[in-house]
Amino acid sequence: MKFDLLKEKRKIVMLTAYDYQMAKILDETGIDLILVGDSLGMVVLGYGDTKKVTIEDMIYHTKAVARGAKNTPIVGDMPINSCNTVEDALKNANRFLEAGAQGVKIEGNKPEVIKALLDKGIPIMGHVGLLPQTAERYRLKGKDKAEGEKILKDAMELDQFGVFTIVLECIPESLAKKITESIEAPTIGIGAGRYCDGQVLVINDMLGFDEDFSPKYLKRYTYLGREIKKAIVKFKEEVLNETYPDGEHTYH
C-alpha cells in the first residue's frame, strides 16, 4: 500500500478505528486511511485524555484493526513516551508495522526521531497544532501570532523532512489554509476548517456514542448511543416479559 494521497485530486478521508468490526466496516466504504488513534484512551479505555495510553495498548488495537481492514492503509498513533529517543522510536515504530500498520503518526516536531524513522523507510504522518499528549488543556492553538508562526514553521520543517501527510488539529482556518498552501505534503484537518486537503474525525464521536463531548468542530452524523440504548431496553423488556426467545429464535 502506498500513501499517494493526492493522486486523485480530491479530498482525503480518514477516520479512526480501534477494533476488528469497525475496521471491517470502514474498509468496505473506500475511505483513504484508518488511524488507530491514541484517542482510544478516552473512547475505549475510559481515561480522561491520551496521557495514560501505552505502546502495548496501541499494538493490541492495531492488530485487531489490521484483521478487519484488508485494503485500507492503517496508520498507528505513536503514544506518549514511545518515541522519546531514536532507539525507542525505531523499536516501537517497527512494532506497529509488524502489527499490520503501514505507517505511524508522531505528535509534534521531533527532528532527530522523525529523520531516523524516515531514513529507515518508515512512512510518517506529522501532527501539529493542538498536541493532546503534551497539552495541559484542550484549546484552540495558533490564535496569537507567535504561536501561529511556530506551528507554521513546524509544519514546513516536517514537510521538508518528508512526512507523507500532516494532521492539523484545532487551529484557525486561516492558519490551516496558509500551511496547506505552503507545503507539498497534504494536510488533514480536525478542527482546522475547510481548506485542508482532507479531514479526520474520531469514529465514536461522529457516530454519536457520547453526547457529552461536543467540541465546535464535531459534526455527529448519527446518534448510535441513543439507538444502542433503545435496543438494550427493548431486549430487557422482552426477556422480562418472556417474549424472547420465541419460537422463531429457538432451535427445534
Each residue's pLDDT tens digit, 153-210: 999 999 999 999 999 999 999 999 999 999 999 999 999 999 999 999 999 999 999 9
Average pLDDT, the chain: 96
Q: Residues 8, 28, 98, 169: which is the catalytic one?
A: 169
- What does the pLDDT read at residue 7? 52
- 157, 133 contact by CB (below 8 A): no
Each residue's pLDDT tens digit, 228-245: 999 999 999 999 999 999
**pLDDT band, residue 4 (cuts 50/70/90):** low
Please tell me the CATH superfamily of domain 12-221, with its number.
Phosphoenolpyruvate-binding domains (3.20.20.60)
How far is 86 from 110, CA to CA, in rounded Å? 10
Q: Does residue 84 have a pLDDT over 90?
A: yes
- What does the pLDDT read at residue 37? 98
Record the pTM: 0.95
Mean per-residue pLDDT, 63-85: 97
Each residue's pLDDT tens digit, 203-222: 999 999 999 999 999 999 99
Residue 169 among the catalytic residues: yes
List C-alpha distances in Å: 126 to 148, 168, 207: 17, 9, 25
The cell for 200 is 479526520
**pLDDT band, residue 9 (cuts 50/70/90):** confident
Per the listing, cell 510518517 goes with 124
Q: Does residue 1 have a pLDDT over 60?
A: no
Instruction: Tell me 94's DSSP state.
Output: H
Each residue's pLDDT tens digit, 89-138: 999 999 999 999 999 999 999 999 999 999 999 999 999 999 999 998 89
The number of C-alpha atoms within 13 Å of 108 and in the hemisphere containing its C-beta is 14
Q: Does residue 14 have a pLDDT over 80?
A: yes
Identify the CA nearest to 93 among candidates 76, 112, 70, 115: 76
Each residue's pLDDT tens digit, 140-150: 999 999 999 99
Q: Does residue 8 have a pLDDT over 70?
A: no
β-pair partners for 189: 168, 199
Cis bond before residue 186 (omega within 30° of 0): no
How far is 147 from 109, CA to CA, in rounded Å? 14
More confident: 86 or 5: 86
Instruction: Tell me 167's DSSP state.
Output: E
What are phi and psi for residue 176, nearest 5 degrees? Answer: -60, -40
Each domain of the chain, given as residue ranges in start order, spans 12-221, 224-252
